[in-house]
Structure 1
Amino acid sequence: MHHLGVSLIVFACIFCSAILGMYLHGRLPDHHLSDESIGVVKLAVGLVATLAALVLGLLISSAKSSFDTVSSEVTRDAADIILLDRVLAQYGTQANDVRALLKQSVARGVQIMSSNDPAQLASLHTPDAYKRGEFFQRKLQDLTPQNETQRRLQAHAIEMADSIFAVRELGLLQASGSTPIPLLVSLVLWLCIIFGAFGVFTAPNMTVTIALFLGALSTSIAIYLILEMNTPLDGLMRVSLDPMREALTVLGQ
């Protein structure tokens, strides 16, 4: 909802700039609308439009990269969790408690990430969350191997658990990324200048108004998508948790 509100504000700023430009069109002296003046303004607006296009493309690329990184980390984490469970299954019945704890932790994580509740998502970064991870790792270390095979499996399980928690932290850090506010404000300012110039040098009519409305709407939608992709665990556009759910169904078998 926060992202939608920001996008609506952006749309209002851009479209109002266009309306203001059309309002000024009929009130500016004729020499302000001469061919020479229009030519110079077009060059300046073209420069601003180029800057705006570059920044918009940069923000979209950065947001998409962040979204794809978190998505791939979720898939990798799910695969590693399944492999860890199979290693513990090979260890023997002594690891059943650890396997149950692993399944419980995964179920809790899936429930939190699918809740779409910012408060619950924030709990993934609390000291309690880290303590639960450390407790699981201690349970692995407390296993008492009876032979060389179990010692090798225990060492492999501890290594995999460390990798899983590292990937988890990387995904959470990527998921908490935010759009640089100064860059976003600069982009909106440039878009207001562009649409205002469109309005100033265009005679007001319904066709022009609709075209400017659709242009402002399109740019605000683009900014909305950027904001959404920068928070891939929250909002309307979220990474798929299906890999984690599929992993949960096979744990403990």
Structure 2
Amino acid sequence: MNALTLALIAFLAMAGAAACGCVLARRMPPDYLGGESIKSLRAAMALVATMTGLILGLMVNSSRFQYSDAEKDVQMYATTLMRMDIELTNFGGPACALRGNLRAFIEQLLLQTWPMPGTANATTPLPELARKLEQLTPQGPALPARPTPSGTVQETAGDTAKGGEKGSASTLLLNLTRELGHLPPENDIRRTLISLGHQLMEYRWRISDFTSNRAPTAFIGAVICWLALLYGILGVFAPRTPLVLFGFLAAIACIASAIYLVLEMDDPFSGQLRVPRAPISDVLTFMASQPCPSEAPPAATFSAPSGP
């Protein structure tokens, strides 16, 4: 159930409870609405209102911080991806072939984390970037095939880049990290690449946790029930005037919008208030504009002019 549906349910529940309270007040005996009854119910409803307001405030604050953390993680994620592409370019040779793996991972990450590309903040369409990067990714040299203990041959980096696009982003990232560990020779750039691969895995799991960490629907339902009870009691004792009716509807709309914001920010990668994908998609644009040194055209050679 999405955030807008739950917010509408909350609005209708509170408005319906207030209307039921107004109808019920007309059928109650006059002594039920005396001074002592009002005092007792006001004390009880004050406790309910305080508890509900405190919980809503904590939920809004928690969701806001979660959204901010997700936005920072996406920016750090994009920075790490760009650093890895730069290091792969600097390494040259077999590492240039791994840019295809990195590109496939970024494309799959965008498709899985932001499932509707048309509504996101992408700066360049993915198919256009894919065609451009196919031209920039060198066809060789690729990493040699490695036999496994069972005697079978493990796929090379180029095979992983081509076939891995059908897999999940997590699988592609694991394959990329595994290939980084087999880059020859062992030097500082290789160690930096392995460290960046571990950082990418950490950010991958953190973003996956954001997409699965949502407020329980039962908890939201309990809060809606408390609010409906509160407005039902208020409807019993409230005057039947247009001003009071307008005030009730305005307050109910504010509370429903707060519930909507809580649910929207609680899942930063879906709905209307989603974290922008621009930092990640900009990495693809950067990769398309930075070919490996081995892809540069050979320097022109000049021969000495021959004598007559």
TM-score by length of 2: 0.73
Cα offset for 1:128? 4.1
- Whether the 8 Å CA contact 1:232–1:238 is kept in 2: the answer is yes
Identify which range, 40-49 or 172-181, moves more after superposition: 172-181
Q: Which amino acid aligns with 2:230?
A: I
CA RMSD across the alignment: 2.0
Name the structure 2 match of 1:234: 270
Alignment of 1:79-228 (within 5 A): 79-116=79-116, 128-145=168-185, 151-228=187-264
Deviations 1:178-209 (A, max 9, x none): 11334322211211121112111112122222
Task: Give the secondary structure class of the aligned counterpart of 1:108.
Answer: helix
Q: Which amino acid aligns with 1:175?
A: T
Structure having the higher helix fraction is 1
Cα offset for 1:127? 7.5
Task: Give the secondary structure class of the aligned counterpart of 2:240.
Answer: coil
Aligned residues: 241
Larger radius of gyration: 2
Identify which range, 66-75 or 107-116, moves more after superposition: 107-116
CA distance in 2, matches of 1:84, 1:224: 38
CA distance in 1, matches of 2:216, 2:100: 42
Task: Give the secondary structure class of the aligned counterpart of 1:195.
Answer: helix
CA distance in 1, matches of 2:84, 2:172: 17
Q: Which amino acid aligns with 2:98?
A: V
1:6 aligns with 2:6: yes
CA distance in 1, matches of 2:167, 2:280: 23
Name the structure 1 match of 2:144: none
CA distance in 1, matches of 2:98, 2:169: 17
Task: Give the secondary structure class of the aligned counterpart of 1:251.
Answer: helix
TM-score by length of 1: 0.88
- Whether the 8 Å CA contact 2:19–2:232 is kept in 1: the answer is yes
Alignment of 1:57-96 (within 5 A): 57-96=57-96
CA distance in 1, matches of 2:21, 2:239: 10
Task: Give the secondary structure class of the aligned counterpart of 1:47.
Answer: helix
- Whether the 8 Å CA contact 2:105–2:169 is kept in 1: the answer is no
